[in-house]
Amino acid sequence: MEQRNQSRVSQFILLGLSEVGELQPLLFWLFLSMYLITFSGNLLIILAIIMDSHLHTPMYFFLSNLSFVDICFTSTTIPKMLLNIQTQSKVITYEGCLSQMYFFMLFGGLDNFLLTVMAYDRFVAICHPLYYMIIMNPKFCGILLLACWLLSVMDSLLHDLMVFQLSFCTQLEIPHFFCELKQMIQLACSDTFLNNLAIYLASGLLGVLPLIGILFSYSRIVASILKISSSGGKYKAFSTCGSHLSVVSLFYGTGFGVYLSSAALQNSRASAIASVMYTVVTPMLNPFIYGLRNRDLKQALRKLFS
């Protein structure tokens, strides 16, 4: 039996993606490059939307918020990982670990809810075009954004407070490059039944229900598009939601892929490597998906550079 800490632990050890010394410079430059691309790409989208008055619509309002959240999402994990590699230190304080876990869940949840709201926005635009500006008025858009923040804050705060109540053993090594909720619970010596129950309930209510909402919205969108007689009209209608559908597929595809791979491999280090897909790669690709597939946004970016 491992000895239980009677006092509050002061720090954890983040083992990272690899302990091979020769790989550390490669990992540093690789993740620094991806972080800079993610930060600059999403920042350009925000600036393009702010500067172009033609993009001051509900769709681009939510897109700019999604870009802001993606910047924050990667900023909760990658800078600390780069600092640890550069200083050759794997230590993170107890408070820092809880803070990182809180903000990671907060911005991850916001990504999920914003994608759901954006699917609803496309549903209204295509299925009820005459009432679009009436339904998606600025006040309602603000309420939707506020609801996304409140749900994410409450969910992440709940998990963080429940982890705060746990007692930890002498084994304080986290086989990950950031403080991930599941890994934290596995390190605890005290009973974690309520923590695991909260994870399953939150995943069901705040993960599956938004996905069902997205699938329902797109089923109605596809049905409406099929009713359009001209091929040009069908293409125009589908092009307005093609970028969002690509981002949704990437977000949920990588998320479920990581979950299934970690369940099959039963290897924490392999799970950490797989989680790079949705923590780093997905936020990095989002600006390219919207920037390359959306004509209005491409024009706004050209104006921004010119």
Q: Tell me the DSSP string of 90-139.
A: -EEEHHHHHHHHHHHHHHHHHHHHHHHHHHHHHHHHHHSGGGHHHHT-HH
Give the start-to-end residue ranges of the domains of the chain.
11-290
Question: Phi-psi bin for 88: left (phi > 0), alpha (psi -120 to 50), beta?
Answer: left
DSSP string, 48-67: HHHH-GGG-SHHHHHHHHHH
Q: Note whether 118 and 63 are within 8 A (CB).
A: yes
- Which residues make Cβ contacts (< 8 Å) with residue 121, sequence separation at least 6? 58, 59, 62, 136
Domain 11-290 has what CATH class? mainly alpha
Neighbouring C-alpha atoms within 13 Å toward the C-beta of 162: 19
Q: What is the pLDDT at residue 2?
A: 44
Report field, pTM of the whole predicted structure over 0.85? yes
C-alpha pair distances (Å), 38 with each of 51, 285, 288:
20, 8, 10
Residue type, 107: F
Pairing of strands 173-174, 11-14: parallel
Q: Tell me if residue 267 falls in helix, strand or coil.
A: coil
Q: Which parts of the chain sit beneath pLDDT 70?
A: 1-8, 260-270
pLDDT of residue 277: 84
Contact 155, 105 (CB under 8 A): yes
- Tell me, what's the pLDDT at 264? 61
